[in-house]
Amino acid sequence: MNTAFILAGAMLLDAALGEPDWLWSRLRHPAVLFGDAVGFCDRRFNNGTHRRLKGALVVAALALGAVSLGAALAQLGWVVELILCAILLAQRSLAEHVGQVAASLRLSLPEARSMVARIVSRDTSQMDGPQVARAAIESAAENLSDGVIAPAFWFLVGGLPGLFLYKVINTADSMIGYLNDRYAEFGWAAAKLDDLLNLIPSRLTCLMLVALSNGSRHWRAIVEDAERHVSPNAGWPEAAMARALKVALAGPRSYHGQVRHLAWVNETARKDIGPHEIEKAIRLLWQVWALGLGLAIAIFTITFVV
Domain tally, the chain: 1
Question: What span, in angstroms and rounded, lies between the C-alpha atoms of 76 and 80?
Answer: 6
Structural domain of residue 75, as residue ranges?
3-305
Question: What span, in angstroms and rounded, lies between the C-alpha atoms of 167 and 194?
Answer: 9
Q: pTM of this prediction?
A: 0.95
Question: What span, in angstroms and rounded, lies between the C-alpha atoms of 135 and 299?
Answer: 34
Question: What span, in angstroms and rounded, lies between the C-alpha atoms of 262 and 260?
Answer: 6
| Tens digit of each residue's pLDDT, the chain (306 residues) | 699 999 999 999 999 999 888 888 888 899 999 999 999 999 999 999 999 999 999 999 999 999 999 999 999 999 999 999 999 999 999 999 999 999 999 999 999 999 999 999 889 888 999 999 999 999 999 999 999 999 999 999 999 999 999 999 999 999 999 989 999 999 999 999 999 999 999 999 999 999 999 888 999 999 999 999 989 999 999 999 999 999 999 988 888 778 888 889 999 999 999 999 999 999 999 999 999 999 999 999 998 776
Residues whose CB falls within 8 Å of the CB of residue 234, separated by 6 or more in sequence, listed in order: 138, 141, 142, 145, 202
